Amino acid sequence: MKFSNKLILWYLDNKRDLPWRKTTDPYFIWLSEIILQQTKIEQGMPFYLSFIQSFPTVFDLAEASEHDVLKLWQGLGYYSRARNLHHTAKFVVDTNKGIFPSSYKELLKLKGIGDYTASAISSICFNEPQAVVDGNVYRVLSRVFGLQTPRNTSKGIKDFKELAQEVMDIENSGTYNQAIMEFGALWCKPRNPSCEACIFQNSCYAFLNKQVHLLPVKISKIKVRNRFFNYLVILSSDDKTILKQQTQQGIWKNLYEFPLVETSENSFLRKTEIQNKIPFASVQTASLFNETPIIHKLSHQHIHIRFWIVKTSEIRDYGICFSQIASFAVPIVLHNFITKFSFYKTVNFDTFEKLAK
DNA sequence: AAAGCGGGGAA
DNA sequence: TTCCCAGCTTT
């Protein structure tokens, strides 16, 4: 049996009973589609109900103030959807007596309506053969047909739209579109999909090739996390300092470093925070070595590093001689600091004292 | 082509 | 924590 036929038969058996499935009125379909953009049905449902309650027709929505619309949208996120919703309601009322455009091409011109929403409305309300491509469709098509193009690239967007258009049921586009999305939401889920009881077990590319968890392909754009490190460079009265081995999982594991106070931003350390870090010594003075943080760039993290010169009482066996530091494995950024600092410390201590201010 | 925009639930 | 959700718009 054809892919689309199997899907529609599955849908008729398994579809959820949802309010916007009882109508093909473009106003209600449009409203539901806007609310459900990037939003799970469970989250959007109460908002849909309150919107049709407050604004039973597009005229009611158009007459409302933007603030009232935003107020009702409060908590749903992506607030430009609410502003565009209101704008489009007014536009439809002002230019076409409240009647929505009835073609994909015309719908696409409205604010807040892109390829997905224009396809959804034109197929569900007017049976125009436009295949929707949403997060569910990317997943189902990539798995069943083995389409490996990364979905978040321009080629991916193009390839998936083409395949979606190719395998859809031209005669029942509205039902087909809802079927594939429902299947993606209930069966072909991102994680732990129900492959053992799937109607496509015998033909699904991903299932047959054990690639279900690898599809759809998505280019992961590395997002950089900012972290703020304050290293405490201890100078005790018995001329020692502290190095600790980084034992926790993470960057620089098993390397040595100065006692570290991580903060959520470039904040000025309090003396008590420093003292708490080294309870075995008594802090006398603490000064910032570099006002401007050194930004150490790793692939996924930008580490903003500041060194604090902390003079303390005797620490005896808790510490090591400063000259021994060279024999410990430390991150390069610490090594660079140590080199620079040793220069000030041994050659011209007075210069450092000035710099520390 | 990439970034910005929200809030919530699941693993 | 990370991922993803019935995406669209702007840069």
Establish whether domains A3-214 and A225-355 are of one fold: no
The answer to whether the peptide bond before residue A279 is cis (omega within 30 degrees of 0) is no
Domain ranges of chain A: 3-214, 225-355
How distant is C1' of C7 from CA of A81, in Å?
10
**Helix H or strand E segment including A354:** helix A349-355
Distance CA A32, CA A50 (A): 12
CATH value of A225-355 in 1.10.3430.10, 3.40.640.10, 3.90.79.10, 3.40.190.10 = 3.90.79.10
**3-class secondary structure for A103-128?**
CHHHHCCCCCCCHHHHHHHHHHHHCC
Quote the CA–CA distance of A228 and A188 in Å, as a whole number: 41
Catalytic annotation, pick one of A33, A128, A182, A257: A33
Question: Cα–Cα distance between A279 and A288 in angstroms, integer?
Answer: 20
From the Cβ of A115, is strand C under 7 Å away? Answer: yes
CB contact burial A29-54 (16+ within 10 A = b; e otherwise)? bbbbbbbbeebeeeebbebbeebbee
Residue nearest to nucleotide C6 (CA to C1'): A36
A185: Cβ under 7 Å from strand C?
A: yes
pLDDT tens digits in sequence order for chain A, 357 residues long: 999 999 999 999 999 999 999 999 999 999 999 999 999 999 999 999 999 999 999 999 999 999 999 999 999 999 999 999 999 999 999 999 999 999 999 999 999 999 999 999 999 999 999 999 999 999 999 999 999 999 999 999 999 999 999 999 999 999 999 999 999 999 999 999 999 999 999 999 999 999 999 999 998 777 777 788 999 999 999 999 999 988 776 778 788 999 999 887 777 888 898 999 999 999 999 999 988 888 887 777 788 899 999 999 999 888 999 888 889 998 999 999 999 888 776 655 444 444 443
Task: Give the residue carrying structure tokens 């590395």.
Answer: A222
Domain A3-214 has what CATH class?
Answer: mainly alpha
HSE-CB of A160 using CA atoms within 13 angstroms: 28
